[in-house]
Chain A
Amino acid sequence: KAGVTQTPRYLIKTRGQQVTLSCSPISGHRSVSWYQQTPGQGLQFLFEYFSETQRNKGNFPGRFSGRQFSNSRSEMNVSTLELGDSALYLCASSSRQGMNTEAFFGQGTRLTVV
């Protein structure tokens, strides 16, 4: 069974631009969660989608948004990029809503804002 696939692996953007990251969950998984990982803050929850609906949201500004499609693939968007948005963005999929079940992570997208 294929794992969680995130694209692209690496991105370099300029301050003020916007970016869209993509995540394809494991086949059959309907929950997709997004995390931001930085050396200073560790892994921080962004949001969770289940059956195309946002179920949980972390403490991030409105510049961070996401969506999920009917095939469970998810995208997250960051608008008006800031230098502090440079991070590894990780997506995790699981079979059930909520995170009290095995969640499998992708390799992440490394975003660098210059």
Chain B
Amino acid sequence: GESVGLHLPTLSVQEGDNSIINCAYSNSASDYFIWYKQESGKGPQFIIDIRSNMDKRQGQRVTVLLNKTVKHLSLQIAATQPGDSAVYFCAESYSGNTPLVFGKGTRLSVIA
């Protein structure tokens, strides 16, 4: 499959453990944030999003935390599974009319 990033930061976790993937965003005016998962050979897959009027949002096995003070976003994955192995991207947007700006990505490797 395609290599989406040759020198991405990598997070290795044991199967069953919780994973935390961090992202520092660049624009203090950004009001919408989104996490994507990209598996080898596939396009990015939507995981969860959050708007700036919230600081936490939960989905199925995933939680996104937003800290606007320090411009930090994190994705928590509970009970990490081998199928969670992928590259994870955060992205930001503002004003509703600007394109998503993507971070460089983090590679999550799950050890069975």
Contact = CB atoms under 8 A, between A and B. Distances in A.
Interface residues of B, number: 32
Contacts of A43: 44, 89, 91, 102
B41 to A, nearest CB: 8
B4 A37 contact: yes
Contact of A106 (B2, B43, B99): B43
Dominant SS at the B interface?
loop
Interface in B1-35: 2-6, 31-32, 34
A102 B43 CA distance: 14
Dominant SS at the A interface?
strand
A48 B93 CA distance: 14
A110 B44 contact: no
Most chain B C-beta atoms within 10 Å of own C-beta, residue among A55, A97, A99, A110: A99
Contacts of A97: 97
Contact of A107 (B4, B42, B89, B91): B42
Given A104-B46, A105-B36, A56 B99 contact: yes
B84 interface: no
Contact of A100 (B5, B32, B102): B32
A58 B101 CA distance: 11
Contacts of A103: 34, 46, 100
Contacts of A4: 43
B99 A102 contact: no
Interface of B: 2-6, 31-32, 34, 36, 41-46, 49, 51, 89, 91, 93-105
Interface of A: 4, 6, 33, 35, 37, 39-40, 42-45, 48, 55-56, 58, 88, 90, 92, 97-108, 110
